[in-house]
Amino acid sequence: MQAFVKATRGPGGEIRTVPDPSPGEGEVLVAVRASSVCGTDIHLWQWNAWAQSRVRRVPFILGHELSGEVVRLGPGVKSLAVGDHVSAETHIADGTCVQCRTGRMHICAHVEVLGVDRDGVFAEYVVLPEMNAWKNDPALDPTLASIQEPLGNAVHSLLPEGAPADLAGASVLVTGCGPIGLLAIVVARLLGARRVYATEVNPLRSDLARRMGADRVFHPVEEGAGVLRTIREETDGHGVDVAVEMSGHPASLRLAFDALTPGGRVSLLGLYDSDASLNFDDAIIFRAARVYGIFGRRMFATWYQVRGLLAREELRSKMAEIITHRVPIRELPRAMELVASQQAAKVSLEAKW
Amino acid sequence: MQAFVKATRGPGGEIRTVPDPSPGEGEVLVAVRASSVCGTDIHLWQWNAWAQSRVRRVPFILGHELSGEVVRLGPGVKSLAVGDHVSAETHIADGTCVQCRTGRMHICAHVEVLGVDRDGVFAEYVVLPEMNAWKNDPALDPTLASIQEPLGNAVHSLLPEGAPADLAGASVLVTGCGPIGLLAIVVARLLGARRVYATEVNPLRSDLARRMGADRVFHPVEEGAGVLRTIREETDGHGVDVAVEMSGHPASLRLAFDALTPGGRVSLLGLYDSDASLNFDDAIIFRAARVYGIFGRRMFATWYQVRGLLAREELRSKMAEIITHRVPIRELPRAMELVASQQAAKVSLEAKW
Amino acid sequence: MQAFVKATRGPGGEIRTVPDPSPGEGEVLVAVRASSVCGTDIHLWQWNAWAQSRVRRVPFILGHELSGEVVRLGPGVKSLAVGDHVSAETHIADGTCVQCRTGRMHICAHVEVLGVDRDGVFAEYVVLPEMNAWKNDPALDPTLASIQEPLGNAVHSLLPEGAPADLAGASVLVTGCGPIGLLAIVVARLLGARRVYATEVNPLRSDLARRMGADRVFHPVEEGAGVLRTIREETDGHGVDVAVEMSGHPASLRLAFDALTPGGRVSLLGLYDSDASLNFDDAIIFRAARVYGIFGRRMFATWYQVRGLLAREELRSKMAEIITHRVPIRELPRAMELVASQQAAKVSLEAKW
Amino acid sequence: MQAFVKATRGPGGEIRTVPDPSPGEGEVLVAVRASSVCGTDIHLWQWNAWAQSRVRRVPFILGHELSGEVVRLGPGVKSLAVGDHVSAETHIADGTCVQCRTGRMHICAHVEVLGVDRDGVFAEYVVLPEMNAWKNDPALDPTLASIQEPLGNAVHSLLPEGAPADLAGASVLVTGCGPIGLLAIVVARLLGARRVYATEVNPLRSDLARRMGADRVFHPVEEGAGVLRTIREETDGHGVDVAVEMSGHPASLRLAFDALTPGGRVSLLGLYDSDASLNFDDAIIFRAARVYGIFGRRMFATWYQVRGLLAREELRSKMAEIITHRVPIRELPRAMELVASQQAAKVSLEAKW
């Protein structure tokens, strides 16, 4: 089959013809119908510091956001059938560690990630463990099905395990409007938020943030202290109830806390790559803030939430707007460039080799 | 001033001219702009068994659902000003018991209820403790402001203290579509429910339930076992994630559990007036169900949620549809009859004496 | 091997020589070192109404409370080794249903129970799925290891999923002092309860309840209304914060709610076998009570809690007191009689054929 | 009366004769029977950077940890009587802001602190709002009653609002063994922790930490990387379930996260005085950690927990060991010196002028 392979420990990737994979015990073979580009793919493509330290072996097939169809079952598979439409939960858990045994598989001590630690989805076929092949409604548009995985990140950020049911009538701040931030805006509205504030520097994304339903989208650099002032004025002086930090910028990290009401909560998903400094006294302690680290999606509580939310047409139509480009997968380098240069929000990859 | 007074321990009530009330220490005087009729008012008017055992003294002024304007401040009032638009939290707490001191004032050991234990709002003026006078957005339509209190019951039923954030993408069953049940349907949708099922025997209310956004409204008697069968079919065999029992019928109590997925939750708000029987093994234990008793509104967590949700136009327009009749308060007996005979959903009372 | 077999659909059971079982894919073979008698075993032995309706097929080997040693691994087993000391989680889940995929395997839609739906532990050997063989500290006394499973029920009752951390300094009522109730008394103390009340009619169990640390043990029939009066007096008029109903008697169900403070919580574990009646208005709604149905143990959150608690010597020494009899397994009928007639608390079975 | 007054914006304080205070509306006059020295008092005494920026006006009477007796009631006081034994909740809330109205008075937007913003307890008498005078069991030793307030900090750190009931059988790390850290060790044991680890550099405090029940007390500087290695070895490679950071040292902040199991939680109480840096990716995000800022005590959920726990003799006897010195209040400068130089754990002040 054809596949985009990270062949050497360096930038880029290449189309190669590789043997068709075969499903082992408890695995299924999936024909890829649509895929999409995630920030992680960009890091691997650019071979940045994170990628250099994270990648354990080459070669491997890139990509993890997927919509496909089951075409063959390995031995022992019970809950899937040939013809099922599936997406991939990209965290492959060992099933035996304390996290796996207590409903927190997404932080399995020995997690493997699709398209990083094992062959991914930028190919004609991919092998998935039965548990990681999430069955979709066959009526769901494959391009939307492929971006369920980042939608799951957005839902997980807004609804981390153990967080209270506090979005009803709440004010929410989303710092950083990449695809996950944009999806967080839509979902916050869908879950009953009163007002949604967002920050973003890129004009394409700011515009999309407004179309997603953000009441205000600030340019955090140009508007400076005005961001906080406006948020305080419009929230009776208190600040937002919930903040989700999607940008990975230390300044946004500080803003997320400064804008937070005493007793509020912050979810952290954006990565900072190195140490960040914070006045913990003011940001967290005197404020009695709660902070949630967000990694992946809850397996599979988040996926059930996502499935239910996707039944709402208003979500599907907003998601479609986030897909700003559709590119044949054979032009993957161009798709990578579109995302890396922030000319695109989400780029959907058509299965055209 | 003019007021509707329950003058004797028996059915009905009468318009009387009574002295204007005066606010004491920490109280405010409120001019009533709009009020509305609640099921509790009907029980008091009809002088049913509950009313006979519950009422401690007569005479008193009836009514508790309110929209009004502060016209005078008693000594020591700090957080309100003359001219403020307010509604009433009708549970008046003592502020010193263990429940009051642990964020659960709504179940204060010595709670007094407006329009039951002290003079209510079916009058030109009413005196409220400062804490119970909830400040409204002055732009909020007074007839909607008055039904914030039952809206609070609906929100509290869907979001009881300590319940997880589990409405996102969930399936919900509302048994009984009186005004609180109808509001629960709207709110469930607003909080991200995937599907909302409802049961109701009255055709006017069934029709309203559909307009509120219920995906299916069953007649629980006529459709019998078909109700459960349909719910199971449409929820992959599992049943609903959340049920709110608003009817006070033992058969609906049993249905709420029968329709529940293992591990789901049920909120109970409808009153049964006497013992009800249940197979606790199947309903609760083997099902690992959680049950929440709902009384009043969380003080004041629910009110903040309600304030935030009322900022959403889709809620306000649905609420307006629930107000099927507007009656001058001097015709209160007619309003009572409309509600008692279920010819109306919510009856709004105009301040026309 | 030798095994106690339920051979026909009727009372009793018999020792039979049956073929040694063999572990399949993902299973292990365990040599039984100690086992113990549970109430469920009594129901099966007596062949009561529940057993008649619940048992799907005969013959099968009885028993599920176990301490043993892994003697052989089936193919694909990764997390266990020959020589590991293990106990059994008796709920065998399918791993694919919505409950299994959301951290609630104990209420799997297709759960099978050891010693009911498949061959149990009253034998020389038993086959367990890898996931259900819980690794013990080898230093743990095998007779205690065997009663970890009911200890898990007690811990689960006190700490149901989603319940708040409310045992610190709390007052707790345990209705019914069979082995699980007795363990709940010890555990409640170990988790910081201020006072523990218990009810029990059997003098042997009442005495044990006091030794477990109950501050007061009431005879619910002889003391009647005095039970409630005393509890109220000693809890500032409010009642207990937490009640766990272990008896399966409808009168105790009502007592558990009557004794509960407004806003308190009740866990239900005891089975009522048929409908029970309750005044839901007073018991649950006006009281804003929360109710948790308890079935099995949380898989495997409860087991980790149990493992941690077993590190505390004060728990192990109390558990040892609950084991009132040690009987060779060849005398199982005598052990059954001891438990059925309530002459024993827990009967440990020695692996002597 | 005699009182220790911070008379000028500079180091130290002085005994002065000041007019006896008089209780206003809703206040009580309390005769001080015992008090104790908190770290905050040291900061004010030493007039450090925090004190210089935090103190709004001088003169004021120092001190906030208190045991006393009500000797006079102001008008309108309902829940207290002359002769009642009381301690002080030192956070005086306005009762009207969103935090106060949602069960989070301890983070009131306009909180005033006793002995900082208004006259404190290092005097013969102090005036308290009725709500802040917490009634004690008259049998409780006054020196213990006075340190209920830091005990409340310890309990709040272990049981923050919304944290799950996860201490049962858990491993806990306490970084920093000042009085609150020492109390956290005792309480963690009392709430069912399996193992308690602590870090401390001061030998007096390390020794006390062991006597409080810590399984291991590390010297974080001398033992360096060995701390983490040992914790990991003894927790199956995973790390602790819960960490409470009491030291205010950035290195301990980092250690608290490094030692944490994926999905674990950290409470932050120690103040860092300036920015601290952290690798948020590794510490919080990839670890899916939850973080709780701890300020004061939950009003009054924590106080009820404290009251209940104080009924346990094992807590009272440990608390007594923490009081290493008893000093007449007229020798307050010596008491301050004992604490500041870490020659003491807790210094109790006798009401001897």
Six-digit token string for D146: 């006075």
Q: What are the residues facing C196 on neighbouring strands?
A: C172
How much is the pLDDT for C18?
A: 98
Residues of D in contact with B303 (CB under 8 A): 101
Q: Which residue has the higher pLDDT, B85 or A162?
A: B85
Kindly state whether B340 is in contact with chain D, defined as any CB-CB distance less than 8 angstroms.
Answer: no
Of A8, A17, A40, A249, which is the active-site residue? A40
Distance CA C29, CA C133 (A): 10
* A245, containing H or E segment: strand A240-245
* C317, containing H or E segment: helix C313-322
Distance CA A155, CA C32 (A): 46
Q: What are the residues facing C172 on neighbouring strands?
A: C196, C242
* Strands C240-245 vs C171-175: parallel, antiparallel or unpaired: parallel
How much is the pLDDT for C106?
A: 95
The answer to whether the beta carbons of residues A188 and A158 sit under 8 Å apart is yes
Please state, rounded to an integer, the average pLDDT across all residues of chain A.
97
Six-digit token string for B43: 């029980």
Six-digit token string for D139: 């049998």
Kindly state whether B104 is in contact with chain C, defined as any CB-CB distance less than 8 angstroms.
Answer: yes
3-state DSSP assignment of residue B283: helix
Distance CA D258, CA D252 (A): 10
Interface test with C, best of D305, D310, D315 (most C CBs within 10 A): D305
C288-305: average pLDDT: 97
Please state, rounded to an integer, the average pLDDT across all residues of chain D.
97
3-state DSSP assignment of residue B111: coil
CATH of D2-146+312-350, one of 3.20.10.10, 3.90.180.10, 3.30.1330.10, 3.40.50.2300: 3.90.180.10
Residue whose structure tokens are 């806990």:
D172
Kindly state whether C50 is in contact with chain B, defined as any CB-CB distance less than 8 angstroms.
Answer: no
pLDDT in tens, A259-276: 999 999 999 999 999 999
CA-based nearest residue in chain B for residue D164: B162
Distance CA B259, CA B244 (A): 11
DSSP readout, A178-208?
Answer: SHHHHHHHHHHHHTT-SEEEEE-S-HHHHHH
Q: Percent of chain D beyond pLDDT 70?
A: 100
A43 catalytically annotated: yes
Which CATH number describes the domain made up of D154-293? 3.40.50.720
Rounded to the nearest angstrom, the gap between the alpha carbon of residue D230 and the centroid of all alpha carbons in its chain is 29
Nearest CA to D286 out of A57, A37, A91 is that of A91
ipTM associated with this complex: 0.97
Is the CB of B102 less than 8 angstroms away from the CB of D103?
yes
CA-based nearest residue in chain C for residue D315: C192
The answer to whether the beta carbons of residues B80 and B86 sit under 8 Å apart is yes
**CA distances for C111 relative to A49, B262, C6, angstroms:** 47, 12, 20
**CA distances for A283 relative to B325, D156, D294, angstroms:** 51, 19, 12
Kindly state whether B17 is in contact with chain D, defined as any CB-CB distance less than 8 angstroms.
Answer: no
The answer to whether the beta carbons of residues C127 and C21 sit under 8 Å apart is yes
| Portion 143-162 of C in contact with B at CB < 8 A | 160-162
| Portion 282-301 of D in contact with B at CB < 8 A | 299-301
Is the CB of B103 less than 8 angstroms away from the CB of D103?
yes
Task: Give the least confident one: A62-76, A256-270, B73-87, D95-109.
Answer: D95-109
Distance CA C221, CA C199 (A): 9
C7, pLDDT greater than 90: yes
Looking at the complex, report in whole angstroms how far the Cα of residue C222 sits from the nearest Cα belonging to chain D: 29
Distance CA D164, CA C160 (A): 10
Is the CB of C299 less than 8 angstroms away from the CB of A78?
no
Residue whose structure tokens are 């994979």:
A21
C43 catalytically annotated: yes
Q: How many residues does chain C have?
A: 353
How much is the pLDDT for A96?
A: 87
For chain B, how big is the Rg over CA atoms in Å?
20
Kindly state whether C53 is in contact with chain B, defined as any CB-CB distance less than 8 angstroms.
Answer: no
Q: Which residue has the higher pLDDT, D109 or B241?
A: B241
Q: Exposed, middle or buried, D25 (CB in 10 Å: 0-12/13-18/19+)?
A: middle
pLDDT in tens, D40-86: 999 999 999 999 999 999 999 999 999 999 999 999 999 999 999 99
* Domain residue ranges of chain A, discontinuous segments joined by +: 2-146+312-350, 154-293
**CA distances for A306 relative to A157, A187, B166, angstroms:** 12, 10, 12
CB atoms near residue D74 (< 10 Å): 17
One pLDDT digit (tens) per residue for chain B, 353 residues: 999 999 999 999 999 999 999 999 999 999 999 999 999 999 999 999 999 999 999 999 999 999 999 999 999 999 999 999 999 999 999 988 999 999 999 999 899 999 999 999 999 999 999 999 999 999 999 999 999 999 999 999 999 998 889 999 999 999 999 999 999 999 999 999 999 999 999 999 999 999 999 999 999 999 999 999 999 999 989 999 999 999 999 999 999 999 999 999 999 999 999 999 999 999 999 999 999 999 999 999 999 999 999 999 999 999 999 999 999 999 999 999 999 999 999 999 999 99
E strand intervals along B27-84: 27-36, 60-61, 65-73
Query: Rounded to the nearest 5°, which phi and psi values hold at B294?
Result: -115, 120
**CA distances for B17 relative to B7, B30, B70, B353, C266, angstroms:** 12, 17, 21, 11, 49
The answer to whether the beta carbons of residues C55 and C118 sit under 8 Å apart is no
Nearest CA to A127 out of A224, A200, A240, A26 is that of A26
CB atoms near residue D323 (< 10 Å): 19
Is the CB of C103 less than 8 angstroms away from the CB of A102?
yes
Distance CA B62, CA B116 (A): 7
| Portion 81-100 of A in contact with C at CB < 8 A | 95-96, 98
Neighbours of chain D (3+ CB pairs under 8 A): A, B, C
**CA distances for D77 relative to D26, D81, D131, angstroms:** 5, 8, 9
Is there a common fold for A2-146+312-350 and A154-293? no
Distance CA C197, CA A218 (A): 58
How much is the pLDDT for A353?
A: 96
Distance CA C310, CA C143 (A): 13
Looking at the complex, report in whole angstroms how far the Cα of residue A265 sits from the nearest Cα belonging to chain D: 9
Is the CB of D301 less than 8 angstroms away from the CB of B76?
no
Q: What is the pTM of this model?
A: 0.97
Is the CB of D268 less than 8 angstroms away from the CB of A279?
no
Is the CB of A159 less than 8 angstroms away from the CB of B165?
yes
The answer to whether the beta carbons of residues A13 and A47 sit under 8 Å apart is no
Kindly state whether B165 is in contact with chain C, defined as any CB-CB distance less than 8 angstroms.
Answer: no
CA-based nearest residue in chain D for residue C186: D192
Distance CA C74, CA D198 (A): 43
Distance CA D144, CA D150 (A): 11
Distance CA D208, CA D205 (A): 5
The answer to whether the beta carbons of residues C89 and C28 sit under 8 Å apart is no
Q: At what angle do helices A313-322 and A301-310 cross, to 10 degrees?
A: 100
A322-331: average pLDDT: 97
The answer to whether the beta carbons of residues A34 and A87 sit under 8 Å apart is no
Q: What are the residues facing C70 on neighbouring strands?
A: C30
Residues of D in contact with A268 (CB under 8 A): 280, 284-285
Kindly state whether C307 is in contact with chain D, defined as any CB-CB distance less than 8 angstroms.
Answer: yes
The answer to whether the beta carbons of residues D97 and A239 sit under 8 Å apart is no
Is the CB of C293 less than 8 angstroms away from the CB of B285?
yes
The answer to whether the beta carbons of residues C34 and C349 sit under 8 Å apart is yes
Is the CB of B169 less than 8 angstroms away from the CB of A307?
yes
How much is the pLDDT for D43?
A: 96
Alpha helices in chain D (DSSP H): 39-46, 49-54, 142-146, 148-158, 179-190, 203-212, 220-223, 225-234, 250-258, 280, 301-310, 313-322, 332-340
How much is the pLDDT for D96?
A: 87
Closest Cβ–Cβ partner in D276, D283, D284 for A277: D276
How much is the pLDDT for A61?
A: 98
Kindly state whether C103 is in contact with chain A, defined as any CB-CB distance less than 8 angstroms.
Answer: yes
Of C8, C40, C85, C143, which is the active-site residue? C40
Is the CB of D300 less than 8 angstroms away from the CB of B78?
no
Cis previous bond, B262, omega within 30: no
Order of strands across the sheet that contains C60-61 = C14-17, C2-6, C60-61
pLDDT in tens, C250-273: 999 999 999 999 999 999 999 999
Residues of B in contact with D78 (CB under 8 A): 94, 96
E strand intervals along chain B: 2-6, 14-17, 27-36, 60-61, 65-73, 85-88, 91-92, 112-113, 125-129, 133-135, 171-175, 195-199, 216-218, 240-245, 260-268, 276-278, 290-293, 323-328, 346-350
Nearest CA to B332 out of B315, B345, B349, B308 is that of B349
Looking at the complex, report in whole angstroms how far the Cα of residue D261 sits from the nearest Cα belonging to chain A: 9
Is the CB of C191 less than 8 angstroms away from the CB of D192?
yes
Alpha helices in C98-202 (DSSP H): 142-146, 148-158, 179-190
A157, pLDDT greater than 90: yes
How much is the pLDDT for C96?
A: 87
Closest Cβ–Cβ partner in C95, C98, C299 for A304: C98
Angle at alpha carbon of residue D109, lines to D103 and D110, rounded to 5°: 115
Sign of the CA dihedral running D177, D180, D181, D185: positive
Sequence-separated (6 or more) residues with CB below 8 Å from residue B308: A168, A169, A170, A171, A192, A193, A194
A202-214: average pLDDT: 98
CA-based nearest residue in chain C for residue D170: C308
Kindly state whether C183 is in contact with chain D, defined as any CB-CB distance less than 8 angstroms.
Answer: no
Closest Cβ–Cβ partner in C76, C95, C102 for A304: C102
CA-based nearest residue in chain C for residue B248: C281
pLDDT in tens, C95-114: 889 999 999 999 998 999 99
